[in-house]
A and B are shown apart, each in its own frame.
Chain A
């Protein structure tokens, strides 16, 4: 049981280049998320998907697009990378587990540097 798997682990891009971060989960969760983590800023939500076929903007969506390809996969695309997008990106999935509780399971993170 792999949990949440995201690729790549590290990436260096030049300003203006594009790339897609891939994420897959094998826990049959409905909800999936993309966060970015910057020093002193915590985890900020970029986009989320409540279910297959739906996506919605989070706190910091500008410069990003997402695709919920199926229930398992949720990708994040940078169309024209900027140095301000240098960050660590985490994909996560979650499921309400009864009694009003929700647990998020995170991927191992992608460290992206834009030069």
Chain B
């Protein structure tokens, strides 16, 4: 089955700096890669996603990039703010599979004021 590895497990950045979280996946059939954000004590929520026919996607201060050949994808957050502090999970999915989403182990991002 699919295996998703996520790095780093913890990341601290100064407010205003950029943050990058990286994931690799094992199953070349995976073609959908969402990112979830979980604020302290809350449920995970989808923040951005990318399909394998797209190399990059941006939404305001966040962007995702995908390298299908290398089987890795990354989340980029620019101009970080304290409210970006959370745990971020990457995931991979084979579209149409009942199992659908395999999650990475999560990255605790802390934005220091």
Contact = CB atoms under 8 A, between A and B. Distances in A.
A1 interface: no
A106 B42 CA distance: 10
B51 A101 contact: yes
B51 A100 contact: yes
B24 to A, nearest CB: 14
B65 to A, nearest CB: 17
Interface residues of B, number: 26
Contact of A103 (B34, B89, B96): B34
Nearest to B10: A40
A96 B6 CA distance: 24
Contact of B32 (A33, A48, A58, A102): A102
Given A31-B100, A48-B98, A58-B99, A43 B43 contact: no
Contacts, number: 66
Nearest to A100: B95
A96 B98 CA distance: 10
Interface of B: 6, 9, 31-32, 34, 36, 42-46, 49, 51, 89, 93, 95-96, 98-106
Given A31-B98, A106-B45, 19 more contacts: A33-B101, A40-B105, A42-B6, A42-B89, A42-B103, A42-B105, A43-B106, A44-B103, A45-B102, A50-B98, A58-B99, A90-B43, A90-B44, A101-B95, A102-B101, A104-B44, A104-B46, A104-B100, A106-B44
